Amino acid sequence: MAVHRTYEEINDKIKSGKVVVVTAEEMVAMGMRDGAAAAAKKVDVVTTATFGPMCSSGAFLNFGHTEPPIRMTRVWLNDVPAYAGIAAVDCYIGATEESETQGQRYGGAHVLQDLVEGRTIRLRATSPGTDCYPRRSHETEVTLAGLRDATLFNPRNCYQNYGAAANTTDSVLYTYMGTLLPRLGNVSYSTSGQLSPMLKDPTYRTIGIGTRVYLGGGEGYVAWEGTQHNPEQERSAGGVPVGGAGTLALIGDLKTMKPGYLRAATFHRYGVTLYVAIGVAIPVLDEDVAAAAARPETELYTAILDYGVPSRNRPALRRVSYAELRSGSVDIDGTEVRTSPVSSYRMARRIAAELKDMIAAGGFSLTRPVRPLRGAATGTGDVPGLAAAAAPGGAI
């Protein structure tokens, strides 16, 4: 009998402690052992996760009003400029913004990490002064607990898939995909593969606007499609994109987030970025959702792109499965090339396991999207915008 579950049924099971929840890694193993249809019967929820560098991240902070009040027009946090072109004591601190005194060693991502880890941040603000906001400068120390509001808002996170990177030139390249040795010395890849949220719900059946997520160790939501969301990307079997495709804009209360789940990083000669912990629970509504969540890394593909070509359209050297990338080496034109990730699979696993435990303990219920993502499949077989799903192994 075909499996059909509703969000309400699943949430009732979560409430009563009867829910069957597994991580995507466990789901893949179940699928291999018993088949996806059998797994669909058993499992109510599959947890997915990722912990990778996500430059398009930052937070809106509100400092509360001073006496006399100031309308901040320029703001620095530990010498990192924040965008202050919004209301009087609001600002947006972006992850990649660099310190005016320390350069790439300290940036917006470090400010966010320091806030979450309870450290004190030096706030500096200036203003031309107005009749209603006479004060012209303000300097003080702030902590996350003392902030009026702190809302993480990441315009683009959780890339559905991402090209792997290599370098065919004769010199080392320092990129946001890490250090790329010359003459195809190594291949670097991102995404958590079989644990990756958007690869496990490739046609956005369950992830949509309003989906509750486990963000930075706290509570967050999908706010919108992320910037550069591109559902039209070429897809292999099951509608799985073979390169960068969907993205998510995520929002959450920074005050609920935990140390270790937002980590600042500096890619040498590239700059500052933020590693963001994201966990997403996929409700197993039917067998199609289960089959997608159980899809193994041998069937998840990306392209190895040549970062030696300084173009927006970097040429693809070959298509590769995540199973090959994870094995430690891939063959490119007869040469074994070492592979390594830039996102932490160990952390992704931990996040997926924690989300699983929260759901099993009744502490995290699932939300039906308020609106599907652009390009989402409806679950009735048609896949708007995704109709031309190519067979695996086709042209990149």
Binding site for another protein (CB under 8 A): 51-53, 174, 178-181, 185-188, 263, 265-268, 273, 275, 328, 338-347, 349
Is the Cα dihedral 281, 286, 292, 295 positive or negative?
Answer: positive
Cis before residue 241, ω within 30 degrees of 0? no
Nearer to another protein, 180 or 300 (CB): 180
User: In terms of CB distance, is 260 or 385 closer to another protein?
Assistant: 260
- Encoded amino acid at 139, one letter: E
Nearer to another protein, 73 or 104 (CB): 104
Q: For another protein, give the closer residue by CB, 126 or 186.
A: 186
CB neighbours of residue 67 within 10 Å: 6
For the beta carbon of residue 201, count every other beta carbon within 10 angstroms: 28
Q: CB 181 → another protein: shortest distance, Å?
A: 6
Rounded CA separation 117/9 (Å): 38
Active-site residue flag, 158: no
Calpha distance 23→178 (Å, rounded): 28
CB of 194: closest distance to another protein in angstroms?
Answer: 12
Residue 346 Cβ vs another protein, minimum distance, rounded to whole Å: 4
Smallest separation, CB 31 to another protein (Å) = 20
Q: How far are the Cα atoms of 74, 85, 124, 136, 275 from residue 127, in angstroms, in the given order? A: 7, 11, 11, 5, 33
> Measuring CA to CA, which residue among 101, 97, 30, 90 is closest to residue 64?
90
d(CA 275, CA 278): 10
Give min distance, CB of 344 to another protein, in A.
4
Structure tokens that stand for 11 in this block? 């949430």
**Nearer CB in complex with another protein: 98/288:** 98
Q: Annotated catalytic sites, by residue?
A: 132
